[in-house]
Structure 1
């Protein structure tokens, strides 16, 4: 599995979510493709939708961390 920088992963996901709200256009679509590619490389998953899901899963707070903090 590739080494993952959580800060960079969060930035990629945030930018992708912002593009989902942006007006559609050639530049927007090209950037979305670039972000999907980068997420695929970052997570080691070839399918963009699965790579986004994995990135979100990696960024989600762990149940153990939430329990021990309480």
Structure 2
């Protein structure tokens, strides 16, 4: 996710030069990916790994296995 957040950030910079409203939307997506990557990193900080709780086909919660 961290790599994807970086790639989307680069896409936002390119997109904002071409179409500013679309660039803002892509920038928001990059921010949300960054927040998600940070949450997963925080959950796995103790070296125990993470778990993902699913509801049907949608992940609804992540947390540490510690």
Structure 1 length normalisation: TM-score? 0.40
Greater RCO structure (CA 8 Å; 6+ sep): 1
Larger radius of gyration: 2
More strand by share: 2
TM-score by length of 2: 0.42
